[in-house]
Structure formats: structure tokens, C-alpha cells
Structure 1
């Protein structure tokens, strides 16, 4: 259990989501420019919307929890003196964002002693929000609110698999991924963080990706696990540092995927 705090953590997460959404939305489907922050020749865009949202989130965290550490996508880490830390990706799916596609989201996670304790994904354009604490997960949208549950799926022949792009897999990893994709009923590409939330909502069965940062996955772990899903590396290890990721809605499917991807 998280210790009681003068600031209710769940309410605070929603306040962060509201404020970051207000910072982002004036930029979406506008003529804003994207800078390339890549150092290896691949296109890794960042926009003023990314920075504006992270600035707002960091300021609110520092005011409410000055002893908490902050690890974000766009700015340097801020150390803390407590067991709690925040993990922030202001716009997960910036490439979708600059393309006008509403499958990006703001990811906000809280860790305790290095383990994911709370997580939220906010999509202000579609007015959807997904959040969880590892024990339960919820969705709120234009039609109301409901509890999230993954769906049972024991075999690849019944499974929908998602990845942002097969181009992220290189060498032997690409061969292993293709071996897995050939077995599933339906592979789909794109969606970034939205794919993981669709898995938590029971619409997708597997999400497989490579080379993720902690900010890409840690805020999603409490949502996935709270809905009944499993998230590990390709070796079956915790994903709190990112890396190559397998997420499944059904533990049986996760075990099958590990055998193919983990060798």
C-alpha cells in the first residue's frame, strides 16, 4: 500500500493529465514544426507541445512532492530523497502527433522503490483516459467510465498482435518477430501507447516492441497488470528499464510468445 499523503495520488494523476492536455491541445493539428533530436540518423521528432506538457507536469510534481524524483523524456532527471519517482512521456507517439493521427498519448507513471505503482495514459483529443494501480484499471471516455479487463486468448491462431512498426526489429530479433507474426490471426501496426491500452481494454492480445525507453512502458505497466495482463522483456524479466517488450492479455499467450522471442 502507498503511504497516505496530504495530496491524494489518484486525484493528482488526473490533475496532471488535465493540465498537460490543456498544454498540448493548442498544438495538435496545427502548423507547428518538429525538430529532429536523433543522434543516429533515424527521425526522432520533438515539438513544442512535448516540451510544454512536460514543463507543466514537472512544475506540479515539484510543488506537490518536492522529495520525489522525476525522470522525463525531454529534460534532465531530477533526483529525489524519497522512495517515490515519476516517469513522464509528455507525448508518446510524437510521429503520430505531427501526422495528425489521434493515437498518441501522455504517459505519467509513479514508481515506488523502482517498481511501477501508478500509471495513466491520457488522450485529450479523443477525451479518453486509462489508468491503473497494478490491481485494477479503469477507462473514462465520452460514453462514461468502466473497469478494464484483458480478454482470454490461449493461442496465436486467435490472437491480434500489434507493434508500432516491424522496422524497429533488426537482425535476429527481426527474424524472431516475423516467426511470431506469421502465427497470429491478425497483425496490426501503429498506435504506440494506444496499442497497450487497447490490450488492457480487451481488444488486442499481444503487443511486441523493441528498444523501448523506461518512459515508453513504465507508466503503462500498472494499467496492463491492473487489467489482468503481463508485461516482461523478451527474456521474461521486468520491463522497468525498458528494452525489448512482450505484453500479453493472457498469461498462456505470453508464455508461448516468450518461447519464440526469447529463444
Structure 2
């Protein structure tokens, strides 16, 4: 267990709470207009990046540098800055860039604070939806919307017979591999909308989220929120979700174990 000083939670939670508000204001005042899109993969697939992704990351980095100048930063668009600090901020300036490009409001700004490599605080901010999800400790997280805070808690009554499953493979899992998990395919009843699906699990709206090929900036900010809400999170082969990759999130350990078994044919 890491030796993070729990008394420092309020310092960083307060910073992220204000940053969420600043990011939403920044979007509506500066970025809610025409933007440019380019493809990172250039003919080898489709991985869009926009001028807004880069603007958001510059904005977030500037806020962190001003408040915590000695901390390390890892961002999707501008790489990493290293120091001897035990603290690292991990940034996904726009999680769900494809949604952003087509005007779907489910995209978000994701930021985590890691201590010695372990995510301890996470923010998922949804500027268009005007709400954000943030944990204040390892046992307390809230969703804030229209100025009102609601404590996050997974659906503790979820059972395998009545689960709500949100899943998407986004082209990463081949059809041949999907044929090896027919029970999973049958149980996929709800769309998977980037970080919003993980946030909905923390609210108790869905009970399982399954995704492929997450990078650290996709999942690190969500790990502390999910855990504080009582959720279980791991990779498909039951390793620490901080490793990123293929991710499974569940509302309790029992159904998590059931889904790990169902995913076993494609977990290697």
C-alpha cells in the first residue's frame, strides 16, 4: 500500500474541483466554435486529434505548473515532463475525440493525480453536459451538476441475473475473438460512451463496463472515482487496471469474477 498522506486529499481535490469549473468555462468561452481535425494514424486507421485537444491540454498543464510546479505531467498530446517528485498528473484533454468531432456531448476532460505511480484522485469533467465526477478521498466521490453534489455509489443490489452491461470493442477485438465470447455479446445491452459509461457505473446506472485498449490517460483518472464509489476494476486478465489495456469494471466482486471467467477466452 502506498504511503500517501490522507490529509493532503483536500488540497488536490479542491484544485481539481476548481479546475473542472475552469475547463467548462474555457470550453464555452474559447473552444465552442469551429476546430480543425487531423488523423494521427494517417492512412493506417483512424485516431483523430483536434485543435481543441491541444488547447485543452495546454490550459490544464498551465494550471498544474502554476499550482504544483515540481510535479511531473503526462499528457496524451504533449508527452511527459519528468522530475524527482512522487506526484504525476495524467491528462486526457478530450476523452472521446470521435464524439467531440461529430458533436456528441459525451466527451470529457480526464485528469488524474498519481502518487508513486498509483492513481489517488481523478476528475472526469463533461463541459457540454455541465457536470463532473470527482473523488475526494479513497472512499468518497461525488457527481456535481447544476451546483448540486450527489455522493457516488455503485448499484449494490446488482446480481448476474439483472445486470446492466455497457460494452464496446471499437474495432480492437477481431470478429474471430468475439465469437469466443458469445455470452458477453448477448449481455451487451447498453451503448458505451467513453468515460461517461464508467461514470454511470459509479452512479449506479449500469453494473458492468467492458472496453478494449485503454491508454493510461483513458483509465487512470477513472480508477479512483470508481473505487471510491465501491466499484471493482481490473484488466480482463485480472491485473491492476493502472496497467491500462483491456478494462473490466463491475459493481461488485461476485459479478466481476463471473465476467472475468466469461472473458477468459480473449483475455490473453
| TM-score calculated relative to the size of structure 2 | 0.89
Q: Which residue of 2 aligns with 1:198?
A: 200
Instruction: Tell me the SS of whatever aligns to 1:225.
Output: helix
Q: 1:212 and 1:177, CA in 2 relative to 1: closer, same or farther beyond 3 A? A: farther
Distance 2:191 2:160 in 1: 17
Q: Which residue of 1 aligns with 2:143?
A: 139
Structure 2 residue corresponding to 1:69, chosen from 61, 69, 72: 72
Measure how far apart 1:175 and its partner are: 3.1
- The answer for unaligned runs of 5 or more in structure 1 is none
Measure how far apart 1:137 and its partner are: 1.1
Instruction: Tell me the SS of whatever aligns to 2:44.
Output: coil
Structure 1 residue corresponding to 2:122, chosen from 119, 122, 132: 119
Of 39-48 and 125-134, more deviation after overlay is shown by 39-48
Deviations 1:195-227 (A, max 9, x none): 000000000011101111000000000110000
Q: Is the 8 A contact 1:161 1:188 kept in 2?
A: yes
Measure how far apart 1:130 and its partner are: 0.4
> CA-atom RMSD, angstroms?
2.0
Report matched runs for 1:154-233 at 5 Å. 154-165=158-169, 167-170=171-174, 173-182=177-186, 184=187, 187-233=189-235
Q: Is the 8 A contact 1:84 1:112 kept in 2?
A: yes
Q: Is the 8 A contact 1:36 1:44 kept in 2?
A: yes
Of 162-171 and 54-63, more deviation after overlay is shown by 162-171
Instruction: Tell me the SS of whatever aligns to 2:89.
Output: strand
Q: Is the 8 A contact 2:106 2:129 kept in 1?
A: no
Q: Is the 8 A contact 2:178 2:185 kept in 1?
A: no
Distance 1:221 1:156 in 2: 23
Deviations 1:26-83 (A, max 9, x none): 434x432211112572211111111111101111112221221111111121112111
Structure 1 residue corresponding to 2:11, chosen from 8, 32, 35: 8
Aligned length: 259
Q: Which residue of 2 aligns with 1:57?
A: 60
Distance 1:227 1:172 in 2: 35
Measure how far apart 1:250 and its partner are: 1.6
Q: 1:256 and 1:40, CA in 2 relative to 1: closer, same or farther beyond 3 A? A: farther
Of 219-228 and 151-160, more deviation after overlay is shown by 151-160
Pair 1:98-2:101 in alignment: yes
Instruction: Tell me the SS of whatever aligns to 2:261.
Output: helix
Distance 1:2 1:176 in 2: 45
Instruction: Tell me the SS of whatever aligns to 1:159.
Output: coil
Instruction: Tell me the SS of whatever aligns to 2:104.
Output: coil
Runs of 4+ in 1 over 6 A off after TM superposition: none
Distance 2:219 2:155 in 1: 20
Instruction: Tell me the SS of whatever aligns to 1:262.
Output: helix
